[in-house]
Amino acid sequence: MRRLTGRGPVALLALLGAGVLLAAGFRPWVAGTVVDAVLSGSRVEADGGEVAPGLTAVALAVAAAAVAVVAAGRVARTVALALWAGCLALAAALSIRVLADPSGVLGPVAAARVGRTGSVEADAAATPWPWVALLGVLLCAAALAAAVAGRRRWAGPARRYEAPARDGGEVPGRRGERVPSAWEDLSAGRDPTDVGEDAST
């Protein structure tokens, strides 16, 4: 169980789910016929981006939130977890809306294609792709649950590149004296790697 709640498995599962959700959004979600004087009963298909607008952005936001959760500190991690959960709820709602009323979501898309506002009467059915999108949501939700379960064991981000928090920005020298740190030298415009000509003596 500990392995499944580690940073690596959480990140991989979340990115896999977000990838499934993103790929499904570009596929046909609804197909049917439209009863209209202009379209004259023609067959119309609409992809996920048309009938579930914003799905692509939601998938990318889920991936970004997952990366933030595994890479950030505790405070940012909590915010990212909340964003992650909100994005998943939105993605699920968009997918369920299409599955619940495929004819209703196809009508406005068909009307827009002929330059009309509002909606036209349509008789449509959902393809398997909204279900695939829901599968992606479930994968991301499983990763979210694993992140919540394992986050307390995760260490914070590495601090090796942060400036040392010492008084005056000084560090002990070779003989114990206080000398400016490399960060202080860089801030003052000095090259800390420049030891001069007498370095060998």
From 31-45, 70-84, 132-146, 179-193, the region with the lowest mean pLDDT: 179-193
As a whole number of angstroms, the distance between CA 83 and CA 49 comes to: 21
User: In b/e form, how buried is each residue of 25-46, taking b as 16+ CB within 10 angstroms?
Assistant: bebebbebbbebeebeeeebbb
**Beta-ladder partners of 123:** 33
Q: Smallest Cα–Cα separation from 23: which of 183, 136, 109?
A: 136
pLDDT at residue 168 above 60? no
Structure-block tokens of residue 21 = 């959700």
Give pLDDT tens digits for 81-105: 999 999 999 999 999 999 999 988 9
Q: Smallest Cα–Cα separation from 147: which of 65, 89, 61, 59?
A: 65
Helix residue ranges, H only, 26-73: 48-51, 55-71
Look at residue 76 in the predicted model and tell me its pLDDT: 85
Within its chain, how far is the Cα of 145 from the centroid?
16
Structure-block tokens of residue 65 = 């939130």
Give pLDDT tens digits for 26-85: 999 999 888 766 666 678 889 998 999 899 999 999 999 999 888 878 888 889 999 999
User: In b/e form, how buried is each residue of 100-127, taking b as 16+ CB within 10 angstroms?
Assistant: eebbebbbbbbbebeeeeebbebebebb
**pLDDT cut 90: percent of the chain above it:** 39
Report pTM. 0.71
pLDDT at residue 20 above 90? yes
Q: Would you call 146 helix, strand, or coil by DSSP? A: helix
As a whole number of angstroms, the distance between CA 163 and CA 184 comes to: 9
For residue 138, how many other CB atoms are within 10 A of its CB? 14
Q: Smallest Cα–Cα separation from 114: which of 52, 43, 50, 39?
A: 39
List the helix and strand counts (H, then E) for the chain.
Answer: 7, 5
pLDDT band of 157, cuts 50, 70, 90:
low
CB 182 within 8 A of CB 163: no
